[in-house]
Amino acid sequence: MESPTPLLSIAETRDGVWSVNERGPSRVAIAYFPSKWGAMKHAVRVALAKPRCRVAVVERDGTVRAARDYEQGADTHPEV
């Protein structure tokens, strides 16, 4: 059976700091960044180091603004 895909969510906190929350079957971690750009770079680096991962930008109300799946060895988003 396949393990669940780890999720990296990027969200802005109430005080304007950006957080990257990592949730997976065997790991929970949080990192904080002063800018959205820094948080997104960190999330993509972590996603590329894993066999499979989903990165999502989450609004303050909990809705997903954007999401992308990363999978090593497979092009999940081919250029059109």
DSSP per position, 15-67:
TS-EEEEEE-SS-EEEEEESSHHHHHHHHHHHHHTSSEEEEEEE-TTS-EEEE
pLDDT in tens, 32-65: 999 999 999 999 999 999 999 999 999 988 899 9
The CA distances from residue 55 to 5, 10, 24, 35, 50, in Å, are 10, 8, 12, 17, 12
pTM given for the model:
0.78
Q: What is the mean pLDDT of residues 15-19?
A: 94
Query: Could you give the strand order of the β-sheet that contains 18-23, starting from the edge strand earlier in sequence?
Result: 28-33, 18-23, 7-12, 52-58, 64-71
Average pLDDT taken over every residue of the chain: 86
Is the pLDDT at 2 greater than 90? The verdict is no
